[in-house]
């Protein structure tokens, strides 16, 4: 996989994607988003890949949409092109689990793409924010929506209205990230978690993801019904028989992803 703005590689069952536009702090230009799409499509189609990791550099996960690229566009142009829609949503629509490993800046679109992932692991250097208001615009890829659902109205309002940047400790405290890790250990710890999830039955991991995400879209009663039906459907899998038999026989399960 030969890309200009990202590095994508298979590491066993893990599809590893590093945003790689260091001179612009991984600002999310059109070409980078196109390449990110291609890499996700490839890993999603590859049945040997169970989990995706999305990371950046030590200094920046991504400092947002590319300001130079968008600054002169006009309303009709962005409206007709449905700017920041096609391509940007690909991370959120990935059916396999996606872990974001964030060090340094995750601002604007960078914070939004991290929030599209299923788990965010943060280095102690991570900084999150929706500073679009400083540019005379607003978040365009879920910042006002996902951030509010995750950290609540008051904090989301403060972040989006003032452009304040929060550090990793605050991000963990308010539930934006699942864990803070020493920067030097971030990639190793991320790989450990990715490998642990990748060792599970892939269809079951996909059902877990689908079911947790359902809770964002529906009422509790509908969500519980959706979960129960998926739970029932796991009884059609060989992996459910294997997992439960392995427990009873006191041995590790050998999942076949069927």
Is residue 242 annotated as part of the catalytic site, yes or no?
no
Kindly indicate which of the ranges 10-18, 41-49, 107-115, 147-155 contains the residues binding ligand CAA, using the contact rule CB under 6 A.
107-115
**Binding of ligand CAA by 107 (CB under 6 A):** yes
**Binding of ligand CAA by 25 (CB under 6 A):** yes
Catalytic residue among 56, 109, 142, 143: 109
Catalytic residue among 63, 100, 112, 122: 112
* Position among 36, 51, 56, 112 found at the interface with ligand CAA (CB under 6 A): 112
Residue 234 DSSP symbol: G
**Binding of ligand CAA by 132 (CB under 6 A):** yes
> Can you give 127-153 as a three-state secondary structure string?
EEECHHHHHCCCCCCCHHHHHHHHHCH
Q: Measure CA 89 to chain center.
A: 11
Count of residues engaged in binding ligand CAA, rule: CB under 6 A: 22
**Binding of ligand CAA by 246 (CB under 6 A):** no
Is residue 169 annotated as part of the catalytic site, yes or no?
no
Is residue 223 annotated as part of the catalytic site, yes or no?
no
**In this structure, are residues 104 and 62 in contact, taking their beta carbons and an 8 Å threshold?**
no
For the chain, the C-alpha Rg in angstroms (whole number) is 19
Could you give the C-alpha distances from 122 to 38, 61, 104, 161, in angstroms and in order? 25, 10, 9, 24
Q: Is 156 exposed, middle or buried (0-12, 13-18, 19+ CB in 10 A)?
A: buried
Is residue 15 annotated as part of the catalytic site, yes or no?
no
SS3 85: coil
* Position among 135, 183, 206, 246 found at the interface with ligand CAA (CB under 6 A): 135
Catalytic positions, please? 65, 109, 112, 132
Point out which residues bind ligand CAA (CB under 6 A).
24-25, 27, 63-68, 84, 105, 107-109, 112, 131-132, 135, 139-141, 143
């Amino acid at each position: 996989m030969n890309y200009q703005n990202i590095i994508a590689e298979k590491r066993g069952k893990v599809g590893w994607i590093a945003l790689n536009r260091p001179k612009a702090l991984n600002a999310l230009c059109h070409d980078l988003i196109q390449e990110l799409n291609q890499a996700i499509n490839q890993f999603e189609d590859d049945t040997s890949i169970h989990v995706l990791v999305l990371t950046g550099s030590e200094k920046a996960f991504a400092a947002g949409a590319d300001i130079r690229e968008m600054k002169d566009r006009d309303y009709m142009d962005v409206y007709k092109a449905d700017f920041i829609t096609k391509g940007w949503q690909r991370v959120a629509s990935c059916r396999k689990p996606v872990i974001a490993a964030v060090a340094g800046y995750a601002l604007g679109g960078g914070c939004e793409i991290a929030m599209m992932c299923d788990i965010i692991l943060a280095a102690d250097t991570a900084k999150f924010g929706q500073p679009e208001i400083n540019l005379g615009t607003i978040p365009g890829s879920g910042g006002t929506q996902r951030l509010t659902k995750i950290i609540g109205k008051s904090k989301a309002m403060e972040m989006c209205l003032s452009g304040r940047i929060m550090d990793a400790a605050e991000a963990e405290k308010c539930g934006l990230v699942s864990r803070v890790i020493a920067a030097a250990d971030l990639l190793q710890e991320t790989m450990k978690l990715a490998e642990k999830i990748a060792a599970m039955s892939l269809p079951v991991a996909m059902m877990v993801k689908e079911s947790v995400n359902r809770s964002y879209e529906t009422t509790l009663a509908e969500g519980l019904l959706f979960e129960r039906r998926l739970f029932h459907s796991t009884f059609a899998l060989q992996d459910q028989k294997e997992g439960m038999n392995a427990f009873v026989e006191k041995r590790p399960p050998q999942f076949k992803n069927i």
